Structure 1
Amino acid sequence: MRIVVVGGSGHIGTFLVPRLVRAGHEVVNISRGTRAAYADAPEWEQVRQVTADRERQDADGVFGDTVAALRPDAVVDLVCFTPESAAALVERLRGETGHLLHCGTVWRYGVSHRAPIREGEGTPPFGEYGVQKDAIARMLKEETANGGLPTTTLHPGHIVGPGWHPIGPLGNLDPEVWRTLSAGRTLRIPGLGAEHMHHVHADDVAQGFERAIERPEAARGEDFHVVAPSSMNVRGLAAAAASWFGQEAHLESVSWEEFRAASTGDHADVSWEHLSRSQVCSIEKARTLLGYAPAYEPDAAILESVRWLIEHDRLGVERPLAV
C-alpha cells in the first residue's frame, strides 16, 4: 500500500516509518522538514519526503488537498491536535482514502476511578489537550459508524524512547530526580507515591499502528490503548531507577504544598498533570483484535532512554549505570 504518515519524523514515526518500509509498503512522510528522525535507519532512504507546514495549511484550508494529492491507501496522522483540523482532513479524504489512523492519548480520560481502564470507560478528560483529543476520537468513531471514512484511533501512554527525556519517577522531566537517585540521596515525593503512570516505548506504539494497518477489518471504527503490559507507580519506578545506579531509593513523603514550594520551574505542575490522573489502561482489546504484543515493560523502556541520554551527555548523574 501507499501509506502517508503525517509527522513521521517524531517519536512514533521514528520507529513506524522503518517498520512500514520493511513490511513492503510505499511510504510518504509529511513533515515541516525542521528535524530528522530520532534514530537513523537505512529504510529512510526509501521514504519520499514532503515538506508542509500543517498549521499554516490548515489555516488556509489546503492541508487535506496536500494529503489527498499523494493518493494514499492509508493515512497515519500523528500530529493532529484539534477537532477542526481532524474534521477538515476527514472531509477531504472521505471517499478517496481507505483508512485514516489517528494518534490519540490516554489523557482522553481524567482521574482514574478503577483500574485497568478499558476503552471508552474512563472519566471525562480535563485540560485542553485531553479534551480536544477526546473530541477527535469521538468524532472519528462516529464518522465510521455512520458509513463515512474508515478510521481508527490509537491511544498511547507516556511515550519513551532513545533521544528524548522520559517522564520520570515524579511524573515530570526534572533531571535533578535522576541525579538524586543515582547518588542515593533522599527523594521527596508528593503524597504516598502510589500514583501510577502508564508508559510505552515508541516502537511498541509503532507496532500498534502497523498491526492496525495490517488488520483493517478489525481496526476500523475502533479505539485502542497502546501502552506497556504493566504500569508503575512513583515508589516502584523510583526503586527501579535507583537500582540502575547500584542504589536503594530513599523516599520522603511530603504534601503537595511542600512539594510545590521546593520545586523549580513548572516541574510541580507537570507532576500534578501526570500523577493526579494515576491511570492504568487495559490493552486486552488491542491484544485480541490487533495482535498487539508490546515488547517493553515500562522500566526497560525508561532505562533505554536514560542510558541514551547519559551516553550522549544529555543527562548528568552522580554515578554511572550499574546495569
Structure 2
Amino acid sequence: MRIVVIGGTGHIGSYLVPRLVRGGHEVVSLSRGRRGPYVADPAWDGVEQVAVDRDAEDEAGTFGPRVAALRPDAVVDLLCFTVDSAAALVEALRGATGHLVHCGTVWIHGPSTIAPVQEDTPTVPFGDYGIAKAGIARLLADETSAGGLVTTSVHPGHISGPGWPVVTPLGNLDPSVWQALSAGDELAIPGLGAELLAHVHADDVAQVFERVLDHPAESAGEGFHAVAAHAMTVRGYAQAAAAWFGQEARLRPVSWDEFRADTAEHFADQSWDHLFRSLCPSIDKARRLLGYVPAHTPEDTCRSAVQWLVEHGQVRVATALVP
C-alpha cells in the first residue's frame, strides 16, 4: 500500500515508518521538518518526507486536500487533537482513501472504576485533551458505521522509550524523582501508592498501528488500546526504579494537599492527571482481533528511557544504573 503517516518523525512514527517500509509499503511521512526521527534506521532512505505546518493548513482549509492529493491507500494520523481537525480530514479523505487510522489516548477514559478497563467500558473523560480525543473517536466510529470512510482509533498509554522524558513513579516529569530514587532518599507519594500507570514502549504502539493496517476488516470502525501487558502501581514502579540503582525505595504516603504544598504546580498537576485516572487498560481486544503481542514490559521500557536520559546528560542521578 501507499501509506501517508502524519507526524512520521515523532515518538510513534519513528518506529512505525520503518516497520511499514520493511513490510513492503510505500510510505510518505508528513512532519514539520524540524527534527529527524528518534531512532536511526536505514529504512528511512526509502521514505518520501514532506514538510507541512498542519495548524496553519488546517486554519486555511488546505490540509485535508493536501493529504488526499498524495493518493494514499491508507492514512495514519498521529497529530490530530481537535474534533474540527478530524472532521476536516475525514471530509477530504472520504472516497479518496481506503482507511484512516487515528492516534487517540487511553485518556478517553475517565477515572478508573474497574481494572482492567475495556475499550467500551462506560466512563466520563475529563480535561481538554481527554474530552477532545473521546470526541474524535466518536466522530470516526460514527463515520464508519454510517457507511462513510473506514476508520480506526488506536489509544496508547504513557508512550515511553529512549529519546524523551518518561513519566516518573509520581506520574509527572519531575527529573528530581530519579535523583531521589537513585540516592535512596525518601520520596513523598500522594495517596497510598496503589494508583496505576500504563506505560508502553513506542515500538509496541507502532506494532498496533501496523497490525490495524494489516487487518482492515477486523479493525474497521473499532478502537484499540495500545499498552503493555500489565500496568504498574506507583509503589511497584518506584521499587523497580530504585533497584536499577542498587537502592530500596523509601516511600512516604502523603495527602494530595501535602504533596501540592511541596511540589511545583505544573508537576503536581501532571501527577494528578495521571494518578487520578489510575488506568489499567486491557489489550484483550487487540490480542484477539489483531494478534497484538507486546514485546516490552513497562519496567524494561522505563529503564531504557531513564538510561538514555542519564547517558545524554538530561537527568542527574546519584549512582550509576546497575548493569
Structure 1 equivalent of residue 297 of structure 2: 297
How far the C-alpha of 1:36 sits from its partner, in A, is: 1.0
- Cα distance in 2 between the residues matched to 1:239 and 1:129: 30
CA shift at 1:54, angstroms?
0.5
Describe how 1:20-59 pairs up with structure 2 within 5 A.
20-59=20-59
Matches within 5 A, 1:1-323: 1-323=1-323
Measure how far apart 1:122 and its partner are.
Answer: 4.1
- 1:266 counterpart SS class: helix
Give a deviation string over 1:4-50, Cα, whole Å, max 9, x none. 00001100001000000010100000111111111111111110011
Count of aligned positions: 323
Determine the C-alpha separation between the residues in 2 that align with 1:279 and 1:199.
Answer: 10
How far, CA to CA, are the matches of 2:30 and 2:120 in structure 1?
Answer: 30
CA apart distance, 1:236: 0.3
Alignment check: 8 A CA contact 1:109 1:130 kept: yes
Consecutive unaligned residues in structure 1, runs of 5 or more = none
1:261 maps to amino acid:
A
C-alpha distance in structure 1 between counterparts of 2:163 and 2:149, whole Å = 35
Paired residue type of 2:101: L
Structure 2's unaligned 5+ residue stretches are none
**Residue 31 of structure 1 aligns to which amino acid in structure 2?**
S
Q: Secondary structure at the match of 1:30?
A: strand
Structure 1 SS opposite 2:14: helix
How far the C-alpha of 1:265 sits from its partner, in A, is: 4.4
Deviation at 1:312, TM superposition (A): 1.2
TM-score, scaled relative to structure 1: 0.99
TM-score of the two chains, using structure 2 as the length reference? 0.99
Question: Please, what is the CA RMSD of the aligned residues?
Answer: 0.7
The CA distance in 2 between the partners of 1:219 and 1:181, in whole Å, is: 42
Q: Secondary structure at the match of 2:155?
A: strand
1:101-151 alpha-carbon deviations (Å, 9 max, x no partner): 000000001100011111121411000000000000011001001100000
CA contact (8 A) 1:112 1:122 kept: no
Q: What percentage of residue pairs aligned between the two structures are identical?
A: 60
CA distance in 2, matches of 1:266, 1:127: 15
Give the distance between the partners of 2:241 and 2:54, measured in 1 at CA: 38
AA in 2 matched with 1:127: G
Q: Which amino acid aligns with 1:214?
A: D
The 1-side partners of 2:122 and 2:241 are apart by 29
Runs of 4+ displaced beyond 4 Å? none
The whole-number CA distance in structure 1 between the counterparts of 2:316 and 2:105 is 30
Secondary structure in 1 aligned to 2:277? coil
